[in-house]
Amino acid sequence: MFPATKPLPLTVPTIVGESATSFASRLARRNGAPRRITFCSDVGIDYFALVNGDPLEIQRMAVLGGIDPVPLQASTPSLIEAGWFQLGDEHIKFTGLIRTTLRICPRCVQDAPDRTGIIHHGVWQVAAIRTCQKHGCHLVAVPKPKNGNDCFDHIPVLNGFKPTAGDLAVSQDLELERYLTVRIQDGPGQSWLDRLPFHMAAQTCEMLGALLTLGPR
Q: What is the pLDDT of residues 103-130, one digit of tens each?
A: 999 999 999 999 899 999 999 999 999 9
Dihedral (CA of 141, 165, 133, 10) sign: positive
pLDDT at position 50 is 98
pLDDT at position 22 is 98
C-alpha distances out from residue 45 to 29, 50, 144, 196, Å? 16, 8, 24, 36
**Average pLDDT for runs of 10 along the chain of length 217:** 75 97 98 96 96 98 97 98 98 97 94 93 98 95 91 92 83 94 96 96 92 75
Q: Which amino acid is at 198?
A: F
Residues 6+ apart with CB under 8 A from 162: none
Compute the distance between CA of residue 46 and CA of residue 188 in angstroms, rounded to an integer.
32
pLDDT at position 6 is 87
- In the DSSP assignment, the letter for residue 93 is E
Average pLDDT value for the chain: 93
Question: What predicted TM-score, i.e. pTM, was given to this entire model?
Answer: 0.93
